[in-house]
Amino acid sequence: MTDAPEHPQIYLITPSEFDLSTYPAQLAECLDQTDVACVRLALSTKDDSRIAKAADALREVTHARDVALVIDSHVLMVERLGLDGVHLNDGARSVAKVRKDLGDDAIVGSFCGNSRHDGMTAGELGVDYVSFGPVGQTALGDGRRAGQELFEWWSLMIEVPVVAEGALDAELIRALAPHTDFFGIGDEIWAESDPASALRTLYQAMLG
């Protein structure tokens, strides 16, 4: 997730809960129909066994299609489960230690809310990408959003790839496409009856 393409790429985020008997096939359909750069396993459970089973199932799907699989927060599981890296949610606070622990080959990304300072610090400490959000209006979080001006500034000033995520829709995607490297898409499609079709629609918006 380091080469900036001519247009943004999709960074797919799993639901916080999913059924292992059906979800891997749903994910496979999405990956088969639309180009995806990376998948983030973002389960809300703290149950190590459930996370490990999910990671094993999704790793088979993603790696068969040459798509990277990172895990949300669980740094210690990356090497044990054969994953490609980790997505951190504490800004820049743990980046240096995690990079040292996982080495240079692992993907290390950091969610920085709407903080330029946290994003720049994370970049200086060696993350592969910085994620800002939520971009759209959502009842989650503290109400603060990552506005278009943040992405415009970042794309002009900073070389570290940037992810836009959170409450995206086609209109926001079209507006941000010139200023971001990846769109973090998750709940936007999983609530739909046909997630693969919903993903294709948002992908088309990325292309203008």
Domains annotated on the chain, with CATH: 9-206 (3.20.20.70)
Structural contact between residues 11 and 42, judged by C-beta atoms closer than 8 angstroms? no
Structural contact between residues 140 and 134, judged by C-beta atoms closer than 8 angstroms? yes
Q: Which residues contact 79 (CB under 8 A, 6 or more apart)?
A: 102
Distance (Å) of CA 155 to CA 42, 151, 202: 26, 6, 21
Identify the pLDDT of residue 86: 98
H-helix segments, the chain: 23-33, 48-64, 77-80, 95-102, 116-124, 148-157, 170-176, 187-190, 195-206
Structural contact between residues 164 and 181, judged by C-beta atoms closer than 8 angstroms? no
Looking up tokens 């292309």, which residue turns up? 207
With a cut of 50, list the residues of the chain below it in pLDDT. Answer: 2-4
Q: Torsion over CA of 188, 55, 71 and 102, rounded to 10 degrees?
A: -160
Q: Which residues contact 156 (CB under 8 A, 6 or more apart)?
A: none
Looking up tokens 């629609």, which residue turns up? 201
Structural contact between residues 41 and 67, judged by C-beta atoms closer than 8 angstroms? no
Identify the pLDDT of residue 142: 77
Identify the pLDDT of residue 2: 45
Structural contact between residues 137 and 118, judged by C-beta atoms closer than 8 angstroms? no
Whether this model's pTM surpasses 0.85: yes
Identify the pLDDT of residue 4: 46
